[in-house]
Amino acid sequence: MSKLSAVVETKLSLDSKFKFRCHKDIKCFTKCCSNIDILLTPYDVLRLKNRLGISSEEFLDEYAHMKIDEKSSHPYAILKMNDDKERKCPFVTEDGCRVYTDRPANCRYYPIGQGTLKVEGKNGPVDEEFYFFINEKHCLGFEENKEWTVASWRNDQEVDRYDEVNREWKAIQVRKNLPGQPELDENKQVQFYLASYDLDRFRRYIFESRFLKVFDIDEETVEKLRNDDIELIKFGAKYIKYVMMLEESLKVRDEHLKDKGVLKDK
């Protein structure tokens, strides 16, 4: 995933080398923080809403807008830019990013983009991650002499944690609408968005609705969902898979199946 203006010229490996440095004295400083569409991940929203000391509902209302992807009909949270001529990021200042240590994954990766493809493996389709340069005319960082590999850049920008937390959610993103099959309906889109981004409300949904009476979830997992935001993000990906009928990632209690008139295979 990357800035939407990115152009993929060639795939990079973790060992690919490049020169880049961004600093306050460079002429293009913070220009990459304007007139862009930054797709937010679940962990991005968690980090940012905690940094700002607000709920996920408040963050999404003030700092994001929803976009429906045409190829998958998935709903995404996009960081809302300021309503000014330059469409600046709401967190950028003359001195740089005011939420720098909690900035989104796409900002951390820049000027590297990351993508995922479905490829054929020995035992069927598997997800393959790849990297590419985000080449923008205004960026002078490539003229600097600091040398990196993709791996060392990832380490310096601390993206491993973001990738680990978002991995299952990102794997869902390679899904596309198939010809002849219906797009996600509005109800499923709402559930997708809720479990992806609105963690505070998703937690309330789990514990204040009939959710735990419908789904058979062990006590250890329930306790983690009550107190651990990372576990809640990962569980959200399982819930999305269930809602979208991608896999039986959750188990429905027997009594609920009987109530619904669904016969359980013996």
The model's pLDDT over 66-86, given as tens digits with 9 standing for 90+, comes to 999 988 999 999 999 999 898
Is the pLDDT reported for residue 175 higher than 50? yes
Structure tokens at 79: 């960081």
Residue 109: pLDDT over 80: yes
Classify burial at 125, counting beta carbons within 10 Å of its beta carbon; exposed 0-12, middle 13-18, buried 19 or more. exposed
Residue 266 has pLDDT above 70, yes or no: no
**Res 6 pLDDT > 90:** no
Least confident of 225-229, 254-258, 260-264: 260-264
Q: How sure is the predictor about 136, in pLDDT bands with cuts at 50, 70 and 90? A: confident
Say yes or no to pLDDT of 92 above 50. Answer: yes
Structural element, H or E, at residue 78: strand 75-79
User: Is it the case that residue 141 has pLDDT exceeding 70?
Assistant: yes
* pLDDT for res 234: 97
Q: Classify strands 124-133 and 112-121 as parallel, antiparallel or unpaired.
A: antiparallel
Q: In the prediction, which pLDDT does 258 show?
A: 54
Answer with the residue of higher pLDDT: 127 or 153: 153
What residues are paired with 215 via a beta bridge?
Answer: 252
pLDDT of residue 7: 45
pLDDT at 88 over 90: yes
| Span 211-227, average pLDDT | 96
Lowest mean pLDDT among 115-129, 137-151, 249-263: 249-263
Say what the pLDDT of residue 115 is.
Answer: 80
Tell me if residue 19 falls in helix, strand or coil.
Answer: strand
Mean pLDDT of the region 61-67: 97
Quote the pLDDT of residue 257.
60
pLDDT, position 176: 82
Distance, CA of 75 to CA of 114 (rounded, Å):
20
Using only C-alpha atoms, the chain has a radius of gyration, in whole angstroms, of 20
Query: 93 with 113: CB under 8 angstroms?
Result: no
> What pLDDT is attached to residue 9?
54
Residue range 233-244: mean pLDDT, rounded: 95
Domains of the chain, residue spans? 186-259
Question: 3-state DSSP: the chain helix, strand, coil percent, rounded to 5?
Answer: 40, 15, 40
More confident residue, 245 or 150: 150
| Total Cβ atoms within 10 A of residue 39 | 19
